[in-house]
Amino acid sequence: MAFYAYDEEECPIHASLAVKGERYYCMECFLPVKARNRRALSSHFYHTRTSPKCRLYSKTEDHLLAQLQLEKLFPPGAIQLERPFLDISRIADACWEEKKIVFEIQCSQLEIPEATARIKDYASQGYRVVWLLHDRLFNRKATRPVELFLRQGLAYYIHIERGLTSLYYDQFEVLAHGKRLKKGKKLPIDLQAPHFLAKLEWKDFFPKQVLDRVASDPFYFKGDRLNKALIAHYSPGAAMSMEHWRILEVDLGRRPKRPGRLRGWFLLYIGYPYMRMLAQLGAK
């Protein structure tokens, strides 16, 4: 599903302006699409034939809803949905032209090579990518490799609410052994308030997750982890919080990975008794 499609003259047109009987084509795969108007969502286009490799085709209702809510968050006309970048064959979920920011809403699985390619492609056009990860799929106990990769940079979570405004948030967390071992409270962020990081001396009490963010991109939004870390430079209370997370990273990261249920059963009833038997034989 998508909000825009090409007409016969290859001009983008919104689904609400589609004329019955006219032909329209997907902006990504160029296969035929038709306009549909549903009560739950704004007008949108849908494919008339299966196109599983088309990213626009795979968009869910949650994805479209998140795009609409993101657009309404900003002043009218500030955000352009499904903005095409013809030179790199990309279509951004949402583009903030004034700040050269592309918002990518991720409601489905993604591989690291594709995430890296998108970041590189948009950077070649002078745009920075801000990832909004749907917490129905991400921010779970088990962490996906792409989530670990994106969270080192400009990646936040989005909690999509139907009929309400979605929550965009960051959080402090400890990730190790492919799991989320600890996470702090949700930190609501203001996507309309981006800032560049001034050069500062980062002291030893800052957690690795903050230092990784600083090294990845000196860019942050009001309310996020990096913003909280900046406050710690002059607030003793905030500095204690940074030290708390640094200690948690070291402590929880050192703990050995717990064996799976089957492996644990094998070690308990076969592996350990066998090793004890060998030790007793060696002692004789």
The 10s digit of each residue's pLDDT in 21-72 is 787 877 777 778 777 775 556 677 777 776 666 666 567 778 888 888 898 8
Compute the half-sphere exposure of residue 215: CA atoms within 13 Å on the CB side of its CA.
9
122 CB-near residues (< 8 Å, 6+ apart): 85, 88, 90, 92, 102, 128, 129
241 and 205 Cβ atoms separated by less than 8 Å: no
The crossing angle, in degrees rounded to 10, of helices 236-254 and 208-216 is 100
56 and 83 Cβ atoms separated by less than 8 Å: no
Which one, of 156, 149, 148, lies nearest residue 105 by Cα? 156
Amino acid identity of residue 82, one-letter, is E
Whole-model pTM: value is: 0.76
- 113 — phi, psi (to 5°)? -60, -40
Q: How confident is the model over 167-222, as pLDDT tens digits?
A: 999 999 998 888 899 999 999 999 999 999 887 788 788 999 999 998 888 899 99
- The dihedral formed by the CA atoms of 64, 67, 72 and 75, expressed in degrees to the nearest 10: -150
Instruction: Give the rounded distance of the alpha carbon of 168 from its chain centre.
Output: 11
Angle, CA of 101, 107 and 111, to the nearest 5°: 80
